[in-house]
Amino acid sequence: MSISRRTFIETTAAGALAASSLTAAATGGLMMPTRVLGKTGVKVSILAFGSGSRYLKYDDDQAVEALKKAMDLGINYVDSSDDYGKDHKSEMLIGKAIKGRRDGMFLATKLSNRDPEKSFAIVEGSLKALGVDRIDLLHIHSLQMEDDLAKIEAKGGVLDQILKMRDQKMVKYIGITSHTDPETLAKALGRHDFDATQMALNGALVGMKNGKGGMVPNDGIKTSFESLALPVANKKKMGVIAMKVMAQDALVGPAEPSKLMSYSLSLPITAVVIGMPKMEHIEENCKWAKAFKPMPASERKQMSDELSKKYKAQLDHFFSNHIDA
């Protein structure tokens, strides 16, 4: 399969399940629905603003205005990383957009490095770029395979460093993200008391590399984040953010964007994070978020059966080396 790069951005029909603590700010779908971010108790918009490579397609002034527009339409969860753009560029643009509007915003960013001696300086750079004195949620970025987890977990390693940052009130909550190996993420979530996690959850059950000796063609549901990592996060009451719901647009066409987003948001998660490189995409996604209705389990199964059979192995291979920067 050839993975196309469509200009049509990931769009969302974000929404709610009673089981996932959905609330709505007003009747009639006029306000952005929210869900509780797991054991943090914080209510966040079910549509999160992604600030990676798609966000950086705007010029600087447009990027600031784009996030302001998203906030005006009800999005209060913003997702970034220290390595989205050179010298904390994404975080810097976010800082400009939220100036004077910090209250009510939930800022999540990520620590990409694995050198514990550099961790504090990098996060201090994130704080400066964002223009805040504390980050709401700091994730360890892009967990890879078991050797990466071992490095993170080592005494004095990055995990120990972010725990110290939490103790020092540089960050309020901590988490970890992965779109590489569901089994390794499940182990990390089981071993440690993260407040939240961000993982690849989509209708094609895209997992990524799983097993030794290179890419292993997976057989659908047995090796997906949905079947392996999500239940662990739910059991431990972690907030869960879904990413790669469109698989970098490769599933747009084989399935309707609204259906793909409905699939992910019908899982027991908190929100979906979407990159929106055009103003009209922000408007469309927010409109759909306010009108979302859960997808029945039977429909989700039919979708995942069809998409995973056709696209899972190829997309696993693509994402095994993919980092959104």
Percent of the chain with pLDDT over 70: 82
Residue 212 has pLDDT above 60, yes or no: no
CA distance 165 to 323: 25
Position 206 scores a pLDDT of 67
CA distance 276 to 150: 34
If one compares 84 and 247, the residue with the highest pLDDT of the two is 84
Contacts of 108 (CB under 8 A, 6+ apart): 48, 77, 78, 79, 80, 135, 136, 137, 138, 139, 175, 196, 198, 241
Residue 36 has pLDDT above 80, yes or no: yes
Mean pLDDT for the stretch of residues 310-320:
74
Could you read off the pLDDT of 57-84 as tens digits, one per residue? 999 999 999 999 999 999 999 999 999 9
Mean pLDDT for the stretch of residues 30-50:
95
Least confident of 186-190, 305-309, 321-325: 321-325
Position 23 scores a pLDDT of 41
Could you read off the pLDDT of 264-303 as tens digits, one per residue? 999 999 999 989 899 998 998 898 889 899 999 999 999 9
At 223, the pLDDT band (50, 70, 90 cuts) reads confident
Could you read off the pLDDT of 118-143 as tens digits, one per residue? 999 999 999 999 999 999 999 999 99
List C-alpha distances in Å: 41 to 49, 169, 216, 299. Answer: 20, 18, 38, 30
Residue 10 has pLDDT above 60, yes or no: no
Q: C-alpha 64: how far from its chain's center?
A: 20
3-state secondary structure of 177: strand
At 39, the pLDDT band (50, 70, 90 cuts) reads very high
Position 205 scores a pLDDT of 79
CA distance 164 to 169: 9
Of 52, 67, 71, 64, the C-alpha closest to 10 is 52
List C-alpha distances in Å: 169 to 127, 162, 203. Answer: 12, 10, 38
Could you read off the pLDDT of 158-182 as tens digits, one per residue? 999 999 999 999 999 999 999 889 9
**Sheet containing 43-45: which strands, arranged edge to edge?**
22-23, 34-36, 43-45
At 203, the pLDDT band (50, 70, 90 cuts) reads confident
